[in-house]
Amino acid sequence: MKALVYHGPGTKAWEKIPDPTLLADTDAIVQVDTTTICGTDLHILKGDVPTITPGRVLGHEAVGTVTEVGTGVKTRQVGDRVLVSCVSACGTCRYCREASFGQCLGGGGWIHGNEIDGTQAELVRVPFADSSTYPVPSGVTDDELLMLADILPTAYEVGVLNGRIRPGDVVVVVGAGPIGLSAITSAQLFSPSLVVAIDMVASRLDAAKAFGADVVINNGQQDAVAAVKELTSGLGADVAIEAVGVPATFELAVDLVRPGGHVANIGVHGTSATLHLERIWDRNLTITTGLVDTSSTPTLLRLLTGRQVDASRFITHHFGFDEFDAAYDTFSRAGDTGALKVVLTR
C-alpha cells in the first residue's frame, strides 16, 4: 500500500510500504476511504512531538471500510463502513471504565500516527475495533462524519465541558482555526450570552463570525485583554478556551478570564509557557488541560444526524490521496489559503 510516512522534522513522503496485518484478535484492518490533516500533524512535522520517530505513518482520523477482522472482534465485520476515532480504547482498564479513553492503560489512547502507524494511508490497522470505531449512520456524508474523528469531540470535551460553560456565560476562544471554530460551535449548545473569537488572521476571524461568534478581535491590531474587559464591565470572560498551542496564546487566555473563571487549554504545546502565579494566585482560577477521550462521540453523532450540528462547513478543500503534499501545503498556509479542514479521498 501507499502511506504518508514521517521522516523527521520537516520531512514526509507518500510512499509504498507493507500492508498492515492483524497483530491481535481484537484488531481490524480498515481501508481508508477518507482522511484529513490535523493541526497536531503540523506540530509533529515542526518537531514539537519528539516521541514520534521517523518511519511512522501520520494521521489519526478516517472513515473507511472494514476489510479484515480478528477472531475476537464481536461487533464489526468485513464490509462495514466505520468512523475510526482518533483515540483507541481497550475498554477494560481503569481509565476506560471511567470513559477516560485518552488515558487508556491497555494499549489505547492516542496511538494512531503516534505510537502505531496512522490513517493517512490506504489501509490502517485499528486495535480494539469494537470500542474504537463507530458505524457510519445513514444520511451523513463521509466528509461530515470525519469531523467527529477528532476536532468536534476535542473542542467539546477539552474546551467546552472542561471549561464548564453555563447559560449566560461570556466565552472567549483564543484561536479561530478548526479547533477554535469547533469550540465556538460546541459552546453555543450551552447558550452563552456572548462568544468572542480572538485571532490575528482576518480570514479566520471572518470564519469565526460565520460560525456564530458575536464579537471578533484581531489581537495583532488591538489589546485583546482591554477589549474583553470593556465588553464585560471590567470583569473579564467567564471561560477562556486556548485553541492554538503556543505560549503567548495560553498566557493570553489566563489574562482574559475574570476572578473565579475557567481557562480550558486545548492546544498542543511543544514549548514551555509561563504560568504567572505572581499575578493570578489570588484570582481563584481553574485551569484545565486534556487529551480528548472521544467519550462524547455518541452524543455528537446524534447531534450530527439530527442536524443540530453542521459539520460540513468546516471543510474548505478536497484532494485525492496522490495530493498529500498539496493538501499539507494548503492546510499549513491557512492564513493565505483560507483552509479550515482539508479532506483527502481515495
Please report, in tens digits, the pLDDT of each residue of the chain (346 residues total).
Answer: 999 999 999 999 999 999 999 999 999 999 999 999 999 999 899 988 888 999 999 999 999 999 999 999 999 999 999 999 999 999 999 999 999 999 999 999 999 999 999 999 999 999 999 999 999 999 999 999 999 999 999 999 999 999 999 999 999 999 999 999 999 999 999 999 999 999 999 999 999 999 999 999 999 999 999 999 999 999 999 999 999 999 999 999 999 999 999 999 999 888 899 999 999 999 999 999 999 999 999 999 999 999 999 999 999 999 999 999 999 999 999 989 999 999 999 9
Q: Are residues 38 and 123 in the same domain?
A: yes
Q: Are residues 45 and 35 in the same domain?
A: yes
Domain boundary among 288, 313, 330: 288
Q: Are residues 251 and 220 in the same domain?
A: yes
> Are the beta carbons of 335 and 199 closer than 8 angstroms?
no
Q: Are residues 12 and 96 in the same domain?
A: yes
Q: Are residues 12 and 145 in the same domain?
A: yes
Q: Are residues 320 and 282 in the same domain?
A: no
Q: Are residues 137 and 14 in the same domain?
A: yes
**CATH code where residue 234 lies:** 3.40.50.720
Q: Are residues 15 and 144 in the same domain?
A: yes
Q: What cell was used for 289?
A: 488541560
Q: What cell was used for 341?
A: 479542514
Q: Are residues 275 and 325 in the same domain?
A: no
Domain of residue 267, residue span: 152-288
How many structural domains does the chain have?
A: 2
**CATH code where residue 127 lies:** 3.90.180.10
Q: Are residues 300 and 207 in the same domain?
A: no
> Are the beta carbons of 126 and 30 closer than 8 angstroms?
yes
Domain boundary among 254, 271, 288: 288
Q: Are residues 248 and 157 in the same domain?
A: yes
pTM (two decimals): 0.94
Strands 341-345 and 28-36: antiparallel
Q: Are residues 160 and 113 in the same domain?
A: no
Strands 286-288 and 257-265: parallel
